[in-house]
């Protein structure tokens, strides 16, 4: 097999004194030439983490559902074998452009991109036309297990998952993200006081809400018992609901008018945190079955609720040991207390959570 090789148009370069090559590889060749070291061997003898197969279906669906509008980042691989590079010219810039030949009996191990590799395999099975697309591959020359392990560590050391807020801001495929953007734009108090990039708010920030919190709260508001797309009428209903909630939150209005510092509200009140916002989403899911005149009147009761952290009723609900909690149970128990203050009956499941509070 040594006389046979895979040949790719490639660009040659150098990193840390070592040669490397970038090539465009047809997707249909990915399963044939790239090996993932997924054997059941101890971690210290592997150069990669174990494949997490729960991640793969989402990537497969993304590729299959968007065959003309997907973006796939590159794969990094190590070649355990003697490669050859034939430059286009002997001098000038083009001497680093040419044909990279890798022996077919060489072992090509993926250092970064193993989940993409497996997803490509499954996506091509469902849609063979994807096999004619390309993915960029960065080839390094294998220098043994220790070097491959270090490459994996280095490649992942500085990888930072984007915040939920900025993912929501930039995701134009997800209908819940679209809902969050519309609500954040059309609800006046949100449009002025929402942190669009980060999913947490610093003490010095002038913002009161995060886009990710608005997304989660609006999901709770509209998606109870449904999984289909959100209509424009439902979007409008969400806007009306949140505008009505905001109209009855005096402190939110003071923050909008810059008459109170948002950091002061976050420090002293529970209504300046995502747990309250999501609780109001869950409450709204029950209220919106009523005519607007009814749920609008019910929401007026928000004006008389004591939102201060000093209110002992929030302990064990929105707070645990004086700290705001984002746990699901905290959201439900926070919503329960708000419902009780609004004279809205609890559902059987909500009542079960109330029972858990009893000593």
Per-residue pLDDT of the chain (359 residues), as tens digits, is 456 888 989 999 998 888 899 999 999 988 888 765 555 444 544 555 667 788 899 999 999 999 999 999 999 888 888 889 999 988 888 899 999 998 888 888 887 888 899 999 999 999 999 999 999 999 988 776 667 667 767 766 766 678 899 888 888 888 999 999 999 999 999 999 999 988 889 888 999 999 999 999 999 999 876 667 889 999 999 999 999 999 999 999 999 999 999 999 999 999 999 999 999 999 999 999 999 999 999 999 999 999 999 999 999 999 999 999 989 999 999 999 999 999 999 999 999 999 888 76
Please list the residues that pair with 324 across neighbouring strands. Answer: 319
Which residues, 6 or more positions from 179, have their beta carbon under 8 angstroms from its beta carbon?
A: 215, 218, 219, 222, 230, 235, 238
Whose CA is closest to 44, among 121, 182, 162, 146? 146
Please list the residues that pair with 77 across neighbouring strands. Answer: 110, 139
Query: Could you tell me if 37 and 26 are in contact, meaning their C-beta atoms sit under 8 angstroms apart?
Result: no
Distance CA 211, CA 76 (A): 34
Q: What angle do CA 196, 327, 279 make, to 5 degrees?
A: 65
Q: Give me the helices (H) in 14-79, please.
A: 30-33, 56-65
Query: Could you tell me if 124 and 51 are in contact, meaning their C-beta atoms sit under 8 angstroms apart?
Result: no
| Tally of CB atoms within 10 A around 240 | 16
Q: Which helix (H) or strand (E) holds 218?
A: helix 211-222
Distance CA 54, CA 66 (A): 20
Distance CA 238, CA 288 (A): 9
Query: Could you tell me if 196 and 166 are in contact, meaning their C-beta atoms sit under 8 angstroms apart?
Result: yes
Quote the tokens at residue 288.
């919106």
Instruction: Write the DSSP assignment of 172-192 as a string of letters.
Output: SS-HHHHHHHHHHHHSHHHHH
Tell if the pTM clears 0.85, that is, is over it: no
Distance CA 1, CA 34 (A): 16
**Residue 180 burial (CB < 10 Å; 0-12/13-18/19+)?**
buried
Q: Please tell me what DSSP assigns to residue 34.
A: -
């Amino acid at each position: 097999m040594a006389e046979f090789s895979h040949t790719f148009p490639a660009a040659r370069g150098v990193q840390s004194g070592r040669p490397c090559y970038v090539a465009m590889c047809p997707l249909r060749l990915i399963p044939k030439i790239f090996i993932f070291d997924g054997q059941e061997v101890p971690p210290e003898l592997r150069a990669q983490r174990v494949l997490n197969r729960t991640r793969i279906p989402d990537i497969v669906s993304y590729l299959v559902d968007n065959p003309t509008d997907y973006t796939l980042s590159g794969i990094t691989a190590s070649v355990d074998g003697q490669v050859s590079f034939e430059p286009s010219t002997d001098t000038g810039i083009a001497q680093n452009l040419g044909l990279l030949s890798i022996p077919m009996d060489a072992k090509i191990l993926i250092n970064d991109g193993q989940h993409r590799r497996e997803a490509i395999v499954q996506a091509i099975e469902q849609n063979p036309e994807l096999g004619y697309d390309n993915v960029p591959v960065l080839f390094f020359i294998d220098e043994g297990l220790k070097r491959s392990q270090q490459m994996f560590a280095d490649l992942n050391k500085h990888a930072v998952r984007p915040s939920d807020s900025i993912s929501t801001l930039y995701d134009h495929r997800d209908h819940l993200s679209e809902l969050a953007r519309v609500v954040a734009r059309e609800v006046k108090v949100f449009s002025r006081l929402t942190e669009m990039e980060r999913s947490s708010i610093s003490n010095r920030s002038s913002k009161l809400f995060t886009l990710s919190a608005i997304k989660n709260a609006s999901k709770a508001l509209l998606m109870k018992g449904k999984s289909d797309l959100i209509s424009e009428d439902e979007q409008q209903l969400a806007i009306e609901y949140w505008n009505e909630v905001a109209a009855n939150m005096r402190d939110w209005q003071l923050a909008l008018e810059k008459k109170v510092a948002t950091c002061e509200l976050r420090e002293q009140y529970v209504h300046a945190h995502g747990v309250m916002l999501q609780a109001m989403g869950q409450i709204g899911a029950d209220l919106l079955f009523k005519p607007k005149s009814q749920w609008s009147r019910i929401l007026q009761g928000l004006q008389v609720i004591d939102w201060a952290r000093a209110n002992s009723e929030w302990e064990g609900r929105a707070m645990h040991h004086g700290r705001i909690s984002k746990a699901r149970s905290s959201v439900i128990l926070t919503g329960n207390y708000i419902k009780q203050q609004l004279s809205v009956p609890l559902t059987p499941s909500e009542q079960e959570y109330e029972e858990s509070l009893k000593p």
